[in-house]
Amino acid sequence: MRNCICVVLALAAAAMAASPDPKTLDKKVLLGYQGWFNCAGDGAPENHWRSWARGVPAADTLTIDMYPDLSEFAKEDLCAVPGMTIGGKPAYLYSAWNPKIVSRHFQWMKEYGLDGVLVQRFVTTIARKRASGDVVLKNILAAAAATGRVIAVEYDVTGSNLATFVDVMREDWKYLVDELKITAHPGYLHHNGKPVLSIWGPGLHEDRHVPHDPAVAKEMIEWFRSQAPAKYQVTYMGGTPSRWRTLTNDARPEPGWSEFYQKMDVVQPWAVGRYRDLASVDKWKDEMLVPDLALAAKNGQIYMPVVFPGFSWHNLKRDTEGNRIPRLKGEFLWRQAYNAKVAGATVLKIAMFDEVNESTAIFKTAARRQDAPDQGYWLTLDADGTPLPSDWYLRLAGEITRMFHGEIRPDPKLPNKPGPPWKAPARR
């Protein structure tokens, strides 16, 4: 009997350990979650295909390069694609409007030991989302609660109205806090007693990323951090240019931007596409990560590097080559995460969970060309010449999470058989 009790207690302790602590950002590995996919007839008011293609998906309209592995979903929960087939049989896609789809995604996060996500909320689509009941966000909240995963909102200002975007975010944050009770959600991520809120895009040197004046950005961050009524104040995470420290390349050059970045609680520089191979990943560590971490430490900030598995957007931008930044069977992602850890980073963002448009997705995708639709260009996991299972990048993300949790030692070598099931933690 005593042995049985010990086993039960051990299992209970393991289950508790498997659920990330929403009260702190410490040691967290988060993924971006787009959730922006719709199908015609999915119940959404717009009643059309969104984010999969320009109109109805077809070889010449696709805006995605990777095809999701849908083998675990019931056909009635998916959307048949007119005119597209896989081995002569109907091809399907999914809609995040369906709670069963989002639930499965979060079940994968739990199964593979992932902490949770930054929920992407584009400022330009807030009005539409709220008018239609914020169904996808509610699906995410329910799935996170059911699986014990952490979540935090990440506003994306890309394409926003320069004159109104700050007011839109303020009012929406009040709505999320007061009406959806999002910060009271059991999995909503907090740090230092305040909910974490990320705002991505200010400071990037493109007109579509607002504001263009660092003074406006400083007023924005001050409201969210300290001037808003207490229940709306946040631990502020900033999605910044990769060159936030030097104000060069992708960063706006005006000196006032440095003051804006210094006000952040968490600095999250966007690195997607900034390097293409293992040699440039290592160079990035020496030239960017190490001095960035030093400046963040001097400023009393948390530094959250962004890593990505590879990149391709041939269908989205037809004049570009496919498999633009090869995944190298996972070596590319693993080296970035390893470098971030040994450079001193304590938290990490993986871009992205479900981003098949730019081929940064780490969820289950077609492993072989024959697993994707017969029509059109598709980037499958065997593109680099190595056969891989459809869940390979979920497995690697799980191992990366374990490395940042301190459960395994950092190792530059790609795991040969990444879990789950997990091996026993290395002795420390």
Residue 426 resides in a domain? no
Residue 111 resides in a domain? yes
Structure tokens at 10: 């051990």
Residue 9 resides in a domain? no
Predicted pLDDT of residue 422: 76
Torsion of CA 83, 374, 394, 187, to 10 degrees: -10
Residue 361 resides in a domain? yes
pLDDT, the chain, mean:
95
Residue 284: pLDDT band (50, 70, 90) is very high
Query: What residues make up the domain containing 170?
Result: 23-405
Structure tokens at 134: 């914020």
Please, are residues 272 and 351 in contact by the beta-carbon 8 Å criterion?
yes
**Given a cut of 70, is residue 14 above it in pLDDT?**
no
Predicted pLDDT of residue 427: 36
**Given a cut of 90, is residue 425 above it in pLDDT?**
no
Predicted pLDDT of residue 267: 99
Residue 5 resides in a domain? no
Residue 331 resides in a domain? yes
Q: What is the CATH number of the domain that holds 108?
A: 3.20.20.80
Pick from 114, 146, 120: which is nearest to 33 by CA? 120
Structure tokens at 322: 């496919």
Domain count of the fold of the chain? 1
Stretch 98-112: mean pLDDT, rounded? 98
Stretch 154-166: mean pLDDT, rounded? 98
Residue 410 resides in a domain? no
- DSSP tag of 425: P
Stretch 300-316: mean pLDDT, rounded? 98
Residue 4: pLDDT band (50, 70, 90) is very low
**Alpha carbon separation from 132 to 51, 127, 128, 341 (Å, rounded):** 17, 9, 6, 41
Residue 419 resides in a domain? no
